[in-house]
Amino acid sequence: MSEFAVQTTDVTRIYGSETVPVYALRGVSLTVENGEFVSIVGPSGSGKSTLLHVIGGLERPTEGEVEVGDTTLGECSDSELTDVRLYKMGFVFQAYNLIPVLSAVENVEFILQLQGISKEERRERAQEALSAFGLEDLFDRRPGEMSGGQQQRVAIARAVVSNPDVLLADEPSANLDSETTKEFCEYLQQANEERGVTILTATHDPLVMGYTKRHIQLVDGQIAA
Amino acid sequence: MMRLVLQLALRNIWRQRRRNGLVLFAIVVSIGGVFVMNSLARGMEQDFLTFSIENLRGHIKILAPNQLDEPGLRYSIPAESDWSLFNRPEIEAWTPRLRSPAVIMSERETRGIEVVGIDPSRETHSFIENLVIEGQSISDSTDQHLLIGRDLAEELKTGIGRRLVVLMNGPDDIAIESGFRVRGIFDSTTTRYEEAYVLTGLSSLQTLTGVDGFTEISLHLDDLDQIIKVQPLLATQLPELDVVNWEALDPFTSEMYRFIDFTVYILIVVFLGTLVFGLINALVTAVLVRIKEFGMLRVVGMKSRLVVMQVVIECVIIMFLALVIGLVVGLLFVWWIGDGIDLTAFAAGVEAFGMSARMVPHIVVEDFVILGVASVILGLIASYFPARRVIKTSILQSLRDG
Ligand SMILES: Nc1ncnc2c1ncn2[C@@H]1O[C@H](COP(=O)(O)OP(=O)(O)OP(=O)(O)O)[C@@H](O)[C@H]1O
Ligand SMILES: [Mg+2]
């Protein structure tokens, strides 16, 4: 295992045309150690989502390099990036995290199924993960039959079930009320502390920031001091 | 992994059951419709064919020289020839006849007809087999009586037991005139037979005319497709006679037959072509509303290949289901039509045209298979478009849309 979980070097991401470029990120360099719980904060449009997307291999930086563990993302093909996401990363978004036609336990199993893990083992691990996030009574519920907070907890369970190196969360609490957000953050903290998952979360929410040990402040696509 | 994809596909089909139900319904109607139309067209085709064959033609006919240009008794096929060449598995039946144009007279009227000497026991595949007869039929080859059609009997104002005089050209161009007694009157499916043919015993007609032979031999094969094989064979073995097939004898029906054959395929192509456009449209919309979900699947590590497979499987399942239901519905409909749609109300006179007044469906297994295979292939082709749509949209774009 490398000494850091995530490292970006001079990452720049430019949108738009050559004549009217939009700089979403301008030379972002940062290192996140293994086991850190970090929030990425900043005003709207400052590049938080773009940074997470670049780290998650969902888009490629215009310049610069991203390393996740000992993998240099720039050297990976699209198909290899898919595997990096499957085996090394977990994702939690603001909404639409779950597959509507699958039950909670099937949604969590889905990742293990893609990894080719046997049926018995998957079921056991999925149930264990859901139980860890207080969902032992909701195994067979479909996403449409759960509250927003419950759905986000299923999403964390799914994100951590395969023991990824990093969990990337983009405004995961945006649709939750403060009570549910608190509960959600406690579960994130639990994943971080008990499972040792490195967590990067973009957020506007001071409540979420309160749980993280480090804040990375973005302004206009640059890290503020 | 296949199981996973299949499970997702099935559940998603069920989730969008209203939309998919409509798509399914549209395909079922198209396929069922094509199937019914196809079997009606095939029935019509069959009708034309039967009508032409049973009109004393057979599949292949062996004619005495010059019969094609000038039918009559001048040339004939010697009766004592060796006919063992007809002992072939493809030849189901053969029957010799002596035919001549003639004038028939009653006390009241005169008509131009054709006298046909037959051996009734051998007329197993011509219209003579299925006649409804008032009085008596021709008993055997030596029968000297006449069997005439209902229409002709009415025109001649004659009836059973009455005498008629037949006048024809003998083999050496000397007129032969002879009296016959009417023994039976037949009704057939078409007035054409009733007006055209006057039947009597073959050997009695031979004795009367002094022709020791036949003007034609009509052959019935066990399969239409054997004509290509049998005709040239007979032609080489009987060089001095004319060996012709039904298409040469009846070019009009032959053309109709080929036309329907062609139309049937055009029908399939046009219908399925239209169907596939509608299908692509419906499928693309169906995946567009789920584009966000596909994006999420790709984010968490589902390979594009698997996502494509899921879309394709969904399409093929719907297509296959619709195909099966469509064919079953089509079959049920054809079964319900059963012995035909009666067209007499709309189509007086179609009979003279070589068509019966009933439209009887006829199922051709080959068409069935073509329709099935074509539909599944089309389903695969159609699924390519929604699948491509999913893959061509970048993951982030998919997450933003939907
Ligand atoms: N696909 C795109 N095309 C063009 N510009 C884009 C695109 N995605 C992001 N941007 C621009 O890049 C900049 C950073 O966007 P980003 O979504 O990373 O901000 P953010 O910090 O996540 O904002 P928010 O807090 O509103 O989610 C913004 O100016 C945005 O308009
Ligand atoms: Mg954002």
User: Strands, E, within A59-171: which ranges?
Assistant: 63-68, 71-72, 89-92, 166-170
- Residue range A133-150: average pLDDT? 92
> What is the SS3 assignment for B93?
strand
Contact list in B for residue A110 (CB cut-off 8 A) is 4, 300
> Whose CA is closest to atom 30 on ligand 1?
A45
Q: What is the pTM of this model?
A: 0.79
Contact list in B for residue A93 (CB cut-off 8 A) is 296, 399
Predicted confidence (pLDDT) at residue A104 exceeds the cutoff of 90: yes
A17, A22, A209, A223: which to mutate for ligand 1, most atoms within 8 A of CB? A22
What is the least distance, in Å, from the CA of A193 to any CA of chain B?
23
Between CA B124 and CA B109 the distance in angstroms is 32
Flag if B299 and A58 touch (Cβ within 8 Å): yes
pLDDT classification of A79: cutoffs 50, 70, 90: very high
Distance from the alpha carbon of residue A33 to the mean position of ligand 2, in angstroms: 23
For B90-105, the pLDDT digits (tens) are 999 999 999 999 999 9
pLDDT classification of A106: cutoffs 50, 70, 90: very high
Between CA A65 and CA B320 the distance in angstroms is 48
Q: How far is CA B249 from each of CA A210, A223, B33, B166, B233, rounded to the nearest angstrom?
A: 99, 94, 35, 26, 19
> Whose CA is closest to atom 24 on ligand 1?
A44
Between CA B387 and CA B307 the distance in angstroms is 8
**Closest ligand relative to B399 C-alpha:** 1
Looking at every residue in chain A, the average pLDDT score rounds to 92
Query: Secondary structure of chain B: what % helix, strand, coil (to 5)?
Result: 55, 20, 25
- Residue range A50-67: average pLDDT? 95
pLDDT at B351: 56
Residue B262: Cβ-neighbour burial (10 angstroms; 0-12, 13-18, 19+)? exposed
pLDDT at A192: 93
Distance from the alpha carbon of residue A112 to the mean position of ligand 2, in angstroms: 28
User: Strands, E, within B106-215: which ranges?
Assistant: 110-118, 132-135, 146-149, 163-169, 175-187, 197-201, 213-214
> What is the SS3 assignment for B221?
strand
Q: Give the Cα-Cα-Cα angle A162, A205, A88 (nearest 5 degrees).
A: 15
pLDDT at A74: 94
Predicted confidence (pLDDT) at residue A164 exceeds the cutoff of 80: yes
> Which residues in chain B come in under a pLDDT of 70?
340, 342-358, 402
For A36-45, the pLDDT digits (tens) are 999 999 999 9
Give yes or no for B289 touching A (CB within 8 A).
no
% of residues, chain A, pLDDT over 90: 81
Predicted confidence (pLDDT) at residue A59 exceeds the cutoff of 80: yes
- Candidates A54, A82, A88: best to mutate against B (most CBs of B within 10 A) is A82
Give yes or no for B393 touching A (CB within 8 A).
no
pLDDT at B345: 59
Residue in B11, B303, B399 nearest the CB of A82? B303
Contact list in B for residue A56 (CB cut-off 8 A) is 299
Distance from the alpha carbon of residue A45 to the mean position of ligand 1, in angstroms: 5
pLDDT at A159: 93
Categorise residue A103: left if φ over 0, alpha if ψ from -120 to 50, beta otherwise: beta
Flag if A113 and B301 touch (Cβ within 8 Å): no
Contact list in B for residue A97 (CB cut-off 8 A) is 296
pLDDT at B44: 86
The answer to whether B14 and B243 have CB atoms below 8 angstroms apart is no
For A8-27, the pLDDT digits (tens) are 999 999 998 888 999 999 99
Lowest mean pLDDT among A39-53, A188-202, B345-359: B345-359
Task: Count Cα atoms within 13 angstroms, Cβ side, for A97.
Answer: 30
pLDDT at A206: 92
Give yes or no for B8 touching A (CB within 8 A).
yes
